Structure 1
Amino acid sequence: MLVGYARVSTSDQNINRQIDLLAAAGVDTRNIYQEKITGTTRKRPELTRMLEELQPHDTVIIVELSRISRSTQDMLSIIEQIKTKGAFIKSLHDTWLDTTDENPMSAFLLTVMAALSQLERDQLSQRVKEGLESAKNHGKKLGCPSTANPQASAVTAMYTGGMKISEISKQTRLSRSTIYRILRSAHTTRVKD
């Protein structure tokens, strides 16, 4: 049986593209395990459930390697679990990832490509860190904008005086989220609208 696994990192991302590709590859949509969770954590309930329910001769289909794992060690561990079940794994985009045959070259390529994938992620992470450090050194402020603004004390006074968030927003023309941040940073008691 063909089994699919689809994952996106955040709830803002759309998983439909992966589901469409898996279905086009012959996976029944009822056999697609899907979740919206980062791939950097190993605690992925749907992945765990899929691995537990795998039967001998099942083939796990993924759209690309990064959907099942974000680290070389984790990916190799997952593939080993699939093999232990007597099942296989195949990637639609990373065509070298196909354990459905006993070709030793596939196992070799799997290890090499996983390492290259990890290297690419590590290099990207390093470039981001270097970019942030450079921005800091050039006086750029990093992170969310400060909620400190000339209206902060007025917002706090309005709220403690009994005004609703919606009324404060209309009067100050600040977004509700900004008002909530101001009130939280002022340590106002539980904020209610």
Structure 2
Amino acid sequence: MLFGYARVSTQDQSTDLQFDALAKAGVEPGNIYSEKITGTTKDRPQFIRLLSMLRKDDTLIVYSLSRAGRSLKNLIELIEQLKAKGVNFVSLKEQIDTTTAAGNLIFGIFAALSQFERDQTSERVKSGLDSARARGRVGGRPFKDSAKVSVALRMYDAKTYSIKEITEQTGIGKTTLFRYIKERATQEASQR
């Protein structure tokens, strides 16, 4: 079954152009979901309702990619969600149709570019952290509640509590706890 989605960003705008294009593509008027809401918000009730209605072998048709997704990443997530349900996707303006090999290729390229961007961001962050560590800087926020640190260290010294129990009761993360244990050992060694 064919379903359509039309969206405009403001109340002044009209969905007429999108409705006409969706009808020309074969979508029955009763199967077109529309709303007047900005695309930058995740809360698009009609779109969410439409997505919940789609079943295997249905086709979601939009006038343009910008009507369906807020970003490339968002569009790729949407296409993956639709594919998992066995739903096809068509964008009329860009002439993308996931029922064709060419349409799948285009989205495969988009997905690869999106993954490449995420990998590059990760590499930049890692390089930045490595560079900071080389200059003696340590990332993360310092835990400043000395009373909780003191309690955690006493619990650790008692050797009757598991690390999990200590972190749960004090709210100090495992890594932070071990950092304070190491700092204390270093201080004690330097005082000898």
Q: TM-score range by the shorter chain?
A: 0.5 to 0.7
Runs of 4 or more consecutive aligned structure 1 residues displaced over 4 Å after TM superposition: 112-115
2:75 corresponds to 1:55: no
Amino acid at match of 2:42: R
**Distance in 1 of aligned mates of 2:7 and 2:25:** 17
Asked if structure 2 preserves the Cα contact closer than 8 Å seen for 1:34 and 1:46, the reply is yes
Deviation at 1:27, TM superposition (A): 0.4
Match of 1:38 in 2: 38
Distance in 2 (CA, whole Å) between partners of 1:15 and 1:40 is 18
Aligned length: 114
Shift of 1:84: 1.5
SS in 2 for 1:7: strand
Counterparts of 1:110 and 1:100 in 2: how far apart (Å)? 16
Q: Is 74-83 or 58-67 further displaced after alignment?
A: 74-83
1:88 Cα deviation from its structure 2 partner: 0.6
Rg (Cα) greater in structure: 2
Distance in 1, matches of 2:39 and 2:55, equals 24
Q: CA RMSD in A?
A: 2.1
Superposed CA deviations along residues 92-123 of structure 1, whole A, max 9, x for unmatched, are: 1111x2111355523334447989xxxxxxxx
User: Amino acid of the residue matched to residue 49 of structure 2?
Assistant: R
Tell me what 1:82 maps to.
82
1:106 aligns with 2:98: no
Contact 1:42-1:74 at 8 Å conserved across structures: no
Amino acid at match of 1:65: L
Equivalent in the alignment of 1:28? 28
The AA in structure 2 aligned to 1:100 is: T
Q: Distance in 1 between matches of 2:97 and 2:112?
A: 14
**Which one-letter code corresponds to 2:88 in the other structure?**
F
Matched residue SS, 1:35: strand
- CA distance in 2 between counterparts of 1:114 and 1:91 reads 19
Could you tell me which runs of 5 or more consecutive residues in structure 2 were left unpaired when the two chains were aligned: 116-192
Distance 1:24 1:93 in 2: 13
The reply on whether 1:72 has 2:72 as its aligned counterpart is: yes
Per the TM alignment, residue 48 of structure 1 is displaced from its structure 2 partner at its CA by: 0.5
Q: Match for residue 120 of structure 1?
A: none
SS at 2:48 equivalent:
helix
What does residue 93 of structure 2 align with? 93
Taking the aligned partners of 2:23 and 2:65, their CA distance within structure 1 comes to: 17
* Percentage identity across paired residues of the two chains: 46
**Structure 1 contact 4–33 (Cα < 8 Å) conserved:** yes
- Name the CA distance, whole Å, in 1 between partners of 2:77 and 2:46: 16
Q: Hey, what's the Cα distance between the residues in 2 that align with 1:73 and 1:42?
A: 13
Judge conservation of contact 2:76–2:107 (CA < 8 Å) in 1.
Answer: no
